[in-house]
Amino acid sequence: MKTATPLHYHSVIRMLGVLLLVIGFAMIPAALVGLFYGEMREAGIFTATIIPCLLAGLLVVKLFNPAGLRTRQREGYLIVTLFWVVAPLISAIPFLIAGMITNPIDAFFELCSGYSTTGATILSNLEHYPKSLMFWRSLTHWLGGMGIVVLATALLPSIGIGGQTIANAETPGPTMSKLTARFSDTSRRLYILYAIFTVAEAVLLMAGGLSLYDALIHTFGTVGTGGFSNYSDSVGHFTSPYVRWVITAFMILCGINFNLYFLLFQKRFKEFFSDEEKRLYLGMIGGFILLITLDLLGQGGYTSFVNAFSDASFHVASIVTTTGFATTDYDVWPAFCKTLIVILTITGACASSTGGGVKMIRILTAIKYVRRGFFLKLHPNRVINLTVNGKAVGASTVTNIVNFIFFFVAVLFAGTLLVSVDGFDIVTNFSAALTCLSNVGPGLNLVGPSMNFAAYSNFPTLVLAILMIAGRLELFTVFMMLSRNYWNSDRA
Amino acid sequence: MGADKKLIFRTISAILLYEGISMLPSYLLALYDHDLGPALGIGITMLLIFVCGLTGVRLTRRYKAKIKVRDSYFLVLICWLTVIGTGMLPYLLSRIGIHPVDALFESVAAWTTSSAWVLNVNNLPRALILWRATASWLGGMGVILIAILILSTLGVNGQKLVNAELPGPSVMKTSARMKDTIQELYFIYFMLSAIELVLLLAGRIPRFEALVNTMTTMSTAGLIDYHRAIGTHFTPYVKVVLAVFSLLSSINFAIYINLRRRRFRLVKEDVELRLYLAIIAAATVFIAVVLRITGVRGDIFQSAVDGFAGVVSFASTSGFPLARVNGWPTICKVLLLILMLIGGSAGSTAGGIKVIRFAVFFQIIRRGVYKRIHPNAVKPIRIGKRQMASESVSSIATFILLFLAVYLLSAVVLSLQNLDMETTLSAPVALFTNTGVGFGLVRDASYECFSHLGRVYCCLLMMAGRLELYAILILFSRSFWNPERAK
């Protein structure tokens, strides 16, 4: 056992200063949108939030400069958790001042939904709100998609956080392969790729006749796999098949492990195409689209194959990548389609993408693990390795993956129980907890795609907000804070 | 396939013989009621299987064998299929217009101790109801258990069979000789049933209702609401008796053996027992308080009784078809759903994941958090003071993952029926844990809303749940059918 060392609170506080700076800068585009559309009051509110944010941030960073203190993994978890709790709190301020959301807990929920790229909302009649605030709401998707900490290290490599170890607590998926020697280089490259996707989609959407504003809002929702729209009927507002297919394609692209794209740049095509996780992901998308299309034609009352296929494709892509856009109310679809959607909500997208859920790589490993379990039951003395992409997966990685799946199930049921205090039906509560935990957004029944979360009272709203953050940070980072072992340095 | 054909033949024969004998009371009841159809149906079946069984046993009288692990799984499955197949004959041969699929469903539900039904008991002759209850009662302890008793007297080593059959991760070796243990278990089962019957009769329950409900509660197969007996006769006293005995039969039966041997310390330190009772107590108090606060039940006493009955109904995977649970607040229903998933103790007649596995599930999560904080720490899973072997832990983890996978798959299959989501998502849990009672359309354990094809799948699901997955799923693996590959 190592000697007991207390948590380094200095570096934690310093990082919060950095967070204030990041949020302060990020709000500037929103203020500009306000100016552009002549929303002077909102622009003023943003300015009034930005200035104290930046000043306080600068002050904290200057005052807390723990020279020589390396940030360890242990502080990393605390930093990341605090980041993800404080960011929605600060970002909610403009909404509260503007009176767009009056209940602070609702505002916290909405911004948690934004940063965690969930897309669940308590707002209705979205067309009537100020454009600048709606822009800020969607921008949080973009910030949260790749990770705030990753963003901070990409922008400010010299801020002195440990990089990789901390970002591991924030990046979705079990492993984060090291692409470059320095982590800040990796994170910068990730953000460059992210920016390329963003620009490409926005341009393509504008080519389809969307205004720059609409294009940006939906691009943020897509590449961050969030799902906020500025229309009540979500993407269903755009009748053009072109727009819907562009969004479908970009959702699927952003659900793939971003590290894989670097293989393309390095001309390692074989590795790219043979990646097992990606194959499972695309295979599932293909299979589920087929099944849902057939069921929509058979039981769902669709008469045109093209309509059924395009609606099925859009929603499969939207749910599996945990985006949560909708073109139609899938809650009226047959039970078979809805059950498949529930399964997609659980599986989620690939690791190291912007999507949430359990993640394909974990599903893949779990399937192989179960298969091996069978084999061992029959042939108790055999030794079999578990391999993914031709490489043996270590026992501790497998254990971690099983741990995660169990934790996910436990939190899902505990969440359902807590959310049930409002007395809505079981399906509503279960799907609300699930959709928030996997960062999808819409659920079934009362929280279906045509409904919203406004009906929940304060306590369930808060629980759902925490589920979103916990789901985005892959459970352990957040729930570790509840463990005695984390705080008690003597036991370390 | 490497299973021993003679052994299979002998086991089936023995089972048929005893199943034939067990039909006798139902047959006599049919005669007493002057019910010609059931008398004929049960009579023919009884005669048929009795003669077949007797001939088979006589033919293989000299046979002795040792059982291999692989064979034992197969044997268990064959036994279940045999009793289910022959158990549906009385429904069919009674010629009262029962569809073969419905007969199969009733037979599977009875033998797997699920309270699910598709034939309304009030339209059934009493003889068939008694047969259903008898099948549940026998199914409760496992048909195989009887078979072992027979087999071991005939010189076949039964230990391995029990491992495949008895629900749960481990069977405590409470006795050096398997045969004695099983006889003792059966004696306990019989005694508990007798006590319950007496207590129910003391509660002024009509004789027939008391008998069938004793059989079904002891096997955690729920209740049979014959002629609305539940509404008219079920006083709080009766409810408590039924719940207590359902609870008793969802506790590991090894506990009773230890009690009889006066090994009280072992009982007191049994982690699973303590956890199970703690879960039941906590859930009862919680639900009673919620029922009282929301005013579903008038006073705290009635809330407590209803809460206790509801909790035991789901936790012991009995599934009392008391539709009243559906009027409870959602938070209670979600809690009941969780209890149903956890299920009863290993080594009992209950289904579900089992409390001991749930404890391991929880410990795995705790260790996961600990290992994130201290990545290099080596921390084994502990249950009580006992340290679990990593193979057992991974075997349990595999089981739970498989459980979840089968659940999701079943939800997809059953969703083809296009029912509401509450039914679609809760019916697979209800069937798979052998509870029977779910939410939505299956709230009173009626599966009439499913088509015949859907009912066949329900049957498969109940079987898979009862046999703890492995025995069935292993049959689908290539290496089972091709032993050469396995070498």
Place of tokens 């076949």: B156
Residue B380 has a pLDDT of 84
Are A402 and B397 inside 8 Å of each other by CB?
yes
Examine the pLDDT at B365 and tell me if it is beyond 50. yes
pLDDT in tens, B194-232: 999 999 999 888 889 899 999 999 888 888 877 776 766
Q: What share of chain A is helix, strand, coil (3-state, %, to 5)?
A: 70, 0, 30
The string of DSSP letters for A177-228 reads: ---SSSHHHHHHHHHHHHHHHHHHHHHHHHHTT--HHHHHHHHHHHHTT---
Could you tell me the pLDDT band of residue B486, with boundaries at 50, 70 and 90?
A: very low
What's the mean per-residue pLDDT of chain A? 87
- Average pLDDT over chain B reads 82
Q: 10 Å Cβ neighbour count for A305? A: 12
Nearest chain A residue (CA) to B469: A374
Confidence of residue A482 (pLDDT cuts 50, 70, 90): confident
The residue behind tokens 């729930």 is A479
Q: Which residues contact B140 (CB under 8 A, 6 or more apart)?
A: B113, B189, B218, B219, B220, B221, B249, B349
Tell me the pLDDT tens digit for each residue of B13-34: 988 998 999 999 999 999 998 8
Maximum Cα–Cα distance across chain A? 74
Identify the band that residue B471 occupies on the pLDDT scale cut at 50, 70 and 90: low
Find chain B residues with C-beta within 8 A of A378's C-beta. Answer: 69-70, 474, 477, 479-480, 486
Cβ contact A373–B474 (<8 Å): no
CB contact under 8 A, B334 and A429: yes
Which residue among A379, A413, A479 places its CB closest to the CB of B486? Answer: A379
Which of B330, B373, B416 lies nearest to residue A483, judging by beta carbons? B373
pLDDT exceeds cutoff 50 at B158 = no
Three-state secondary structure of B16-65:
HHHHHHHCHHHHHHHHHCCCHHHHHHHHHHHHHHHHHHHHHHHHCCCCCC
User: Cα separation of B255 and B347, whole Å?
Assistant: 9
Rounded Cα distance, B269 and B256, in Å: 14
Does B146 have pLDDT greater than 70? no
Residue A394 gets which letter from DSSP?
Answer: P
> Is residue B28, in this structure, part of any structural domain at all?
yes
Asked whether the predicted pLDDT for residue A215 surpasses 60, the reply is yes
Q: Report chain A residues whose CB lies below 8 A from the CB of B486.
A: 378-379
- A166-212 pLDDT, tens digit per residue, is 556 666 655 545 555 566 677 778 888 899 999 999 999 999 999 99
Q: Is the pLDDT of residue B153 over 50?
A: no
**Any B CB within 8 A of A296 CB:** no
**Final residue in a domain of this structure, among B116, B142, B165:** B165
Lowest mean pLDDT among A57-61, A218-222, A456-460, B464-468: B464-468
Q: Does residue B269 surpass a pLDDT of 70?
A: yes
Kindly calculate the radius of gyration of chain B based on its CA atoms and give it in whole angstroms. Answer: 22
Contact A373 B418 (CB under 8 A): no
CB atoms within 10 A of CB A17: 20
The encoded tokens of residue B257 equal 């053996």
A 10 A CB-CB count for A384 gives: 11
Q: pLDDT above 70 covers what percent of chain A?
A: 89
Residue with the two structure tokens 């893949």: A364
Q: Are strands A387-388 and A391-392 parallel, antiparallel or unpaired?
A: antiparallel
Residue B236's Cα: distance from chain center in Å?
A: 25
User: In sequence order, what are the beta bridge partners of B383?
Assistant: B386
CA atoms within 13 A on the CB side of A448: 15
Contact B431, B114 (CB under 8 A): yes
Instruction: Count H helices and E strands in chain B, helices first.
Output: 25, 2
Q: Angle A56-A61-A66 (CA atoms, 0-180°, nearest 5)?
A: 145
- Inform me whether the pLDDT recorded for B386 exceeds 50: yes
Q: Is the pLDDT of residue B154 over 60?
A: no
Q: Among the three residues B133, B165, B197, which one is the final residue of a domain in this structure? A: B165
Q: Burial level of B53, CB count in 10 A (0-12/13-18/19+)?
A: buried
What pLDDT, on a 0 to 100 scale, did the predictor assign at position A477? 84
Quote the crossing angle between the two packed helices A276-298 and A305-320, to the nearest 10°: 140
> pLDDT band at residue B174, thresholds of 50, 70 and 90?
very low
Find which of B340, B363, B398, B429 to mutate to test the A interface (most A CBs within 10 Å of its CB): B398
What is the C-alpha to C-alpha distance for residues B309 and B299, in angstroms, rounded to an integer?
16
Asked if residue B240 belongs to a domain, the reply is: no
Task: Kindly state the average pLDDT of the residues B244-270.
Answer: 83
**Inside any domain, residue B128:** yes
Chain A: give the shortest CA distance to residue B356, in Å: 15
CA A10/CA A7 separation, integer angstroms: 9
Percent of chain B at pLDDT > 90 equals 38
A417 neighbourhood in chain B, CB within 8 Å: 331, 334-335, 338
User: In a 10 Å sphere around its CB, with 0-12 CB exposed, 13-18 middle and 19+ buried, how is residue A466 labelled?
Assistant: buried
CA A83 to chain B, closest CA, distance in angstroms equals: 19
Query: Is there a domain that residue B460 lies in?
Result: yes
Q: Quick one: angle between helices B126-141 and B100-111, nearest 10?
A: 40
Structural domain boundaries, residue B22: 1-165
> What is the share, in percent, of chain B residues with pLDDT greater than 70?
84
SS3 state at B386: strand
Residue to mutate among A78, A80, A175, A339, with most B CBs inside 10 A, is A339
Q: Closest Cα to residue A141, out of A123, A126, A121, A122?
A: A121
Mean predicted confidence (pLDDT) in A223-245: 92
What pLDDT is recorded for position A412? 96
Q: Which residues in chain B touch residue A377, judged by CB atoms under 8 angstroms apart? A: 395, 470, 474
Mutation pick from B72, B289, B369 vs chain A, by most beta carbons of A within 10 Å, is B369
Q: Is residue B46 part of a domain?
A: yes
Query: Residue B306 domain-assigned?
Result: no
pLDDT (tens digit, 9 = 90+) per residue, B77-135?
Answer: 788 889 999 999 999 988 888 899 999 999 999 999 998 999 888 888 899 999 999 99
Examine the pLDDT at A287 and tell me if it is beyond 90.
Answer: yes
* Chain A residue numbers touching B400 (CB-CB < 8 A): 406
C-alpha distances in Å from residue B161, one per residue of B78, B152, B409: 12, 11, 29
Residue B221 lies in a domain: no
- State the Cα angle at B291 between B288 and B294, rounded to 5°: 145
What local confidence, expressed as pLDDT, does residue B452 receive? 94
- From CA B111, how far away is CA B107, in angstroms rounded? 6
Q: Is the model more confident about A165 or about A376? A: A376
The whole-number pLDDT of residue A105 equals 95
- Report in angstroms the alpha-carbon separations of A337 from A298, A488, B135: 11, 48, 38
Q: Which residue, B148, B165, B182, sits at the end of a domain? A: B165
pLDDT-derived band at B165, boundaries 50, 70, 90: very low
Domain count, chain B: 2
Given pLDDT bands bounded at 50, 70 and 90, which one contains residue B5? confident
- At residue A322, φ and ψ (nearest 5 deg) are 60, 35
Q: Quick one: how far is CA A81 from the chain centroid? A: 14
Q: How many CA atoms lie within 13 A of B4 on its CB side?
A: 16
Q: What is the pLDDT of residue A34?
A: 94
Q: Across the interface, which of B367, B415, B422 has its CB nearest the CB of A425?
A: B422
Strand, helix or coil at A387?
strand
- Residue B131 counted as domain residue: yes
Question: C-alpha distances in angstroms, A455 versus A111, A114, A121, A287?
Answer: 17, 19, 11, 35
| Cα distance between residue B332 and residue A472, in whole Å | 29
Q: B160: which 2 tokens?
A: 């391995």
Please identify among residues 378-397 of chain A the ones whose CB lies closer than 8 Å to any CB of chain B: 378-380
Residues 406-435 of A with CB under 8 A from B: 406-407, 409-410, 413, 416-417, 420-427, 429-430
Q: How far apart are CA B247 and CA B344, in angstroms?
A: 8
B contact test, residue of A284, A290, A332, A336 with most B CBs within 10 A: A336
- pLDDT, one tens digit per residue, over A330-382 is 999 999 999 999 999 999 888 888 888 899 999 999 999 888 877 776 666 77
**pLDDT for residue B163:** 45
Tokens of A414: 């505990």
Q: Does B408 sit within 8 Å of A407, measured CB to CB?
A: no
Instruction: List the Cα angle A88/A89/A92 in 5-degree steps.
Output: 80
B329-353 residue pLDDT tens = 999 999 999 999 999 887 788 888 8
ipTM: 0.90
Residues whose CB is less than 8 angstroms from the CB of residue B243 and which lie 6 or more positions away in sequence, other chains included: B308, B309, B312, B313
**A58-77 residues touching B, CB cutoff 8 A:** 73-74, 77
Position B161 confidence tier, pLDDT thresholds 50, 70, 90: very low
- Phi first, then psi, for residue A392 (nearest 5°) are -70, 135
Q: How far apart are CA A357 and CA A482, in angstroms?
A: 22
